Structure 1
Amino acid sequence: MTSKTHPFTKMIAGIGFTFFIALVGYILALVPGFSRVGQLAGAIIIAIIYRQFFGYPEFFRAGIQFSSKYLLRFAIILYGLKLNVDIILQDGLGLLAKGAIAIVFAILLTVYIGKKLKANTQLALLLGVGTGVCGAAAIAAVSPIIKAKDEDTAIGVGIIALVGTIFSIIYTLIQPLLPITDLQYGIWSGISLHELAHVALAAEPAGEDALAIALLAKLGRVFLLVPLCFILIFWMRNRNDDSNTKVSFPWFLIGFIGMSLFGSYVLGDIVPVSDITMDAVSQVTTFILTAAMVGLGLNVSLIDVKNKAMRPLIAMVTTSILLSFVMYWIAGI
């Protein structure tokens, strides 16, 4: 009977399977202690563990692939609503410049250290982008451009979530000991930490003003994801002389830009919308992204991770430490 199951039914079942694990990750993130890890990292870990014990669920393959490919792009498009272009252009140009320094520093150093360690090049690049820009969302956006394997994308997202969480906790612990103002601490958090959630976690104890400036600094880095993607497209097309090498244009970036403009200049100004609604949209976006990452996590083989992820991890952690020191100095200028 399984062989006669309609393909559409298999796809829906597969999507439902990724949604179920994403839901488990969401519930797990509500548990004290696990909340620091977050639903995205929790869901990926569950998906990876499932793969190791039960193998890849072939019956759900079509739906899993749909989630890891199309839901991923849809989540990136919705992610654009988090970006207020007007605020960044009016109040965050200085922070934008600092964010650009962080991105260039993180990518070049991670790739350089990775090369010296003879690490997996694509994974090192993904981790550099995730460290420099905005964690999982940046990795998800860049992955199809550089033609990264699903496994590498999932590993990169998991590493970013774990390391970023550890760093944000360290930030909150040392914040009272630092000889800088709350605003400087907020800027430092916003231009050096990995995910939006990590920035919020680290900056919140310093007060509302510190949190606001931290999120503004972080959104500036998110804003720079668009030009970075176009730079990577150009680089992929010109890194060798093979005329047959093609890089498909990531059309979802147009959606990302469109949603950013819509959220910045239409929602609230022309179309009234409540904070509750925007918070709900944000949670839905995160959940869809989590389901997509589940699809990627099911492709991860821990044997391969052991062979390829340790060196990129060392490169990324080293870069994150140095980035924190450099951005601390810049934040205090």
Structure 2
Amino acid sequence: MHLSTMIDWRHALLGVVLTLACSLAGQSLAALPGFSLIGHLVLALLLGMVIQVCRPVTLAARESTGFIANKFLRAGIIFLGFKLNLIVLVSAGLQSLEAAVFVVAIMIPLNYAAARFLRVDHTLALLTACGCSICGAAAVMGVSGALKAKADQSVLAVAIVAILGTVFTLIEVFAQPILGFTDSQFGVMAGLSLHEIAHAVAAGGSAGPVGTDSAIIAKLSRVLLLAPVAIILGIVEAWRQRRQSQDRDQKFKVPIPWFMGGFIAASAIGSYIPAIGSAVPMLVKIAYLILGMAMAALGLNVNFSVIAKEGVRPMVSAITCSFVILALSWFIVRTWF
């Protein structure tokens, strides 16, 4: 019994060490030219998938990777709240916040409808819709609990968001000279249309410091919407499951993602308590380190055959909607900004 417990602890520790190594390696790679477009979180996910080549190590690490993918993810999203400065959003980004609400309200239903039209699974369609419409991998993982998504579905949605975000970042950067926008306008368009924070920063950066600041404000306006969207989806999903069961006496259980409350609380603490201000950069680094471990844990558990089988249709619908959100963002910036 003692020996068995010792082996379990070693296996659990192996999972922690492997995912931590993947997260740190992902951070280092993301600092290199070109890799910054892919982003630290997706690189950590890919490294976790690569480790699957060594099956004995992968199977041993799975003693703890399920826990890491679940609990570390929630902790990472809470810490990520420190990145969201509510004072900046209110003072400089109110117009961007209004535009973000408009974009998200339109694009989530549109992404979902397009995916379902192509016969994509309900849960995968919602994961992809949130990832493309809100804030990439963090949005996928933020709503996965409320949707009771499988690891393979979450990984596929993250992969789609990462690929398309990188492609459309390059499209926007090359299109910048012919759009006729000011640096600020271009930054807003990048923040409203691109999937990951890293994508928005990379594209906005091509328009200089002003473009970068505008892109960050617009993008964080979309990030702020992650919490209410996750709660709404949890309520809708609970209602849908109760309706499908046709059991009128079944208790109405709403899987509210309580960690989103921590996300908002962290945003408020980082924004309004001056003493925390100097620690915010370190807290955000911790957030990404923990999220990278969660992504690596997902990579260690992914089923490649499922991704190969299910990937084409959600990719096609997401490509179509990525062009739509780009056009919509262009129209909003041209009209409102």
TM-score, normalised with respect to structure 2: 0.91
Give the superposition deviation at 1:126: 0.7
2:271 — aligned with what?
Answer: 264
- Is the 8 Å Cα contact of residues 11 and 61 (structure 1) preserved in structure 2? yes
Aligned 8 A contact 1:56 1:299 in 2: no
Q: Deviations over 1:132-167 (max 9, x none)?
A: 111111111100001111111122112212211221
User: Aligned equivalents of 1:232 and 1:165: distance in 2?
Assistant: 27
Measure the CA separation in 2 of the matches of 1:105 and 1:316.
Answer: 14
Match of 1:327 in 2: 329
3-state SS of paired residue (1:5): helix
Q: 1:311 aligns with which of 288, 310, 313?
A: 313
Deviation at 1:106, TM superposition (A): 2.0
CA distance in 1, matches of 2:228, 2:69: 24
2:213 is equivalent to residue 212 of structure 1: yes
Mapped partners of 2:57, 2:306: distance in 1: 15
How far is the alpha carbon of 1:278 from its aligned partner?
A: 3.1
Partner of 1:89: 90
For 1:272 and 1:121, the matched residues in 2 are separated by 41
The one of 280, 283, 303 equivalent to 1:281 is 283
Cα distance change of structure 1 residues 117 and 42 upon mapping to structure 2, 3 Å threshold: same
Alpha-carbon distance between aligned partners in 2 of 1:44 and 1:107, rounded to the nearest angstrom: 24
Post-superposition offset of 1:329: 0.8
Q: Does 1:302 align with 2:309?
A: no
What RMSD, in angstroms, separates the aligned Cα atoms of the two structures? 2.0
Residue by residue, what CA displacement relative to the aligned partner does 1:14-65 show, whole Å, maximum 9, x if unpaired? 1111111222222332343333322222221222233256377222123211
- Structure 2 CA distance, aligned partners of 1:165 and 1:289? 20
Structure 2 partner of 1:249? 256
Deviates more, 1:241-250 or 1:206-215: 241-250
Mapping of residues 166-185 of structure 1, within 5 Å: 166-185=167-186
The aligned counterpart of 1:235 is 236
Identity of aligned residues (%): 33
Q: Is the 8 A contact 1:145 1:233 kept in 2?
A: yes
Q: Any gaps of 5 or more consecutive residues in structure 1?
A: none
Residue of structure 2 equivalent to 1:165: 166
Residues 273, 90 of structure 1: CA spacing in aligned structure 2 closer, same or farther, 3 A cutoff? closer
Query: Take 2:91 and 2:157, find their aligned partners in 1: how far apart are those partners?
Result: 33
Aligned residue identity for 2:287: T
Change (3 A) 1:84 1:34: closer
Q: Is residue 182–residue 210 contact of structure 1 (8 Å, CA) maintained in 2?
A: yes
Q: Write out per-residue CA displacement over residues 86-129 of structure 1, whole angstroms, 9 at most, x where no aligned residue.
A: 22233322211211121122211111111111112211211110
Aligned counterpart, 2:144: 143
Equivalents in 1 of 2:73, 2:210: separation in Å? 33
Q: Closer, same or farther in 2 for the Cα pair 1:56/1:142, shift >3 Å?
A: farther
Cα deviation, 1:216-239, whole Å, max 9, x if unaligned, reads: 111111111121122112211222
1:197–1:16 distance in 2 versus 1, CA, 3 Å: same
C-alpha separation in 2, matches of 1:50 and 1:314: 28
